[in-house]
Amino acid sequence: MTGELLLITGPPAVGKMTVGRAICARSDFRLFHNHHTVEPLLEVFGHGTPPFERLTLEFRRRVLEEAVEHGLRLVFTLVWGVDDPVEAALVGQMVEPYRKAGLPVRWVELYADLETRLARNGGADRIVAKPSKADLVWSDAHVREVDQRLRMNTDPLEPTVADELLADVEHLRLDNAALTADEAAQRVLAWLEPH
């Protein structure tokens, strides 16, 4: 059986989708970014409501199951509170189809300082793919609020629930603050190359 999951995590506006697109443009990976599920459900149910949460999880899980069944190499992006056991359980559900099938799961964690992320937050590509971010006053405030509320990057000196969950997964921490999406993608693909 073929297929592979490349999980890309990091805080809002760090460049997960943009780097994912650049990886896909240079390889046979396909992109499934977190707002593929968020945007259509927002309009119907509103963010954070029980049906929004249930359907987001279900849709993501089904897309990943189908990707496994059809042997796809998939880039899947999401924001992850790496200290939160509930979020770790949800990520565990997302990677489970690949693990069950004995397919590789690899994890790229992007990080950049808040100033860089706020500068990227208003990028035209981001707004087109994520219309809910178009209100930049709200979106910038959201980036700041999530930054204060969640720890979204690991630290090799301070293990997290994320490290425990993905202890058997190859993990690349990449500071992409000074990198273009193409440069970050090249580094990720070089890291994946021996596989």
Question: Quick count: other Cβ atoms within 10 Å of Cβ 123?
Answer: 16
The pLDDT tens digits of the residues spanning 116-162 come to 999 999 887 777 777 777 788 888 999 999 999 999 999 999 999 99
Q: What is the CATH number of the domain that holds 174?
A: 3.40.50.300
CA gap 76, 12 in Å, rounded: 14
Q: Which residue has the tokens 């993990």?
A: 171
Say what the alpha-carbon torsion angle 81, 84, 90, 96 is, to the nearest 10 degrees. Answer: 100
Q: For residues 56 and 134, is the Cβ–Cβ distance under 8 A?
A: no
Structural domains of the chain, count = 1
Q: Tell me the DSSP string of the chain.
A: ---EEEEEE-STTSSHHHHHHHHHHTSS-EEE-THHHHHHHHHHH-TT-HHHHHHHHHHHHHHHHHHHHTT-EEEEEE---TT-HHHHHHHHHHHHHHHHTT--EEEEEEE--HHHHHHHHT-HHHHHH-GGG--HHHHHHHHHHHHHH---S-BTTB--HHHHHTTTSEEEEEE-TTS-HHHHHHHHHHHHTT-
The domain of 137 spans 4-192
Q: In this predicted structure, what is the pLDDT of residue 195?
A: 56
Q: For residues 153 and 111, is the Cβ–Cβ distance under 8 A?
A: yes
pTM of the model: 0.93
The residues facing 155 across adjacent strands are 158
The segments of the chain whose pLDDT lies below 50 read: none
Single-letter amino acid code for the residue at 101: A
Q: For residues 165 and 83, is the Cβ–Cβ distance under 8 A?
A: no
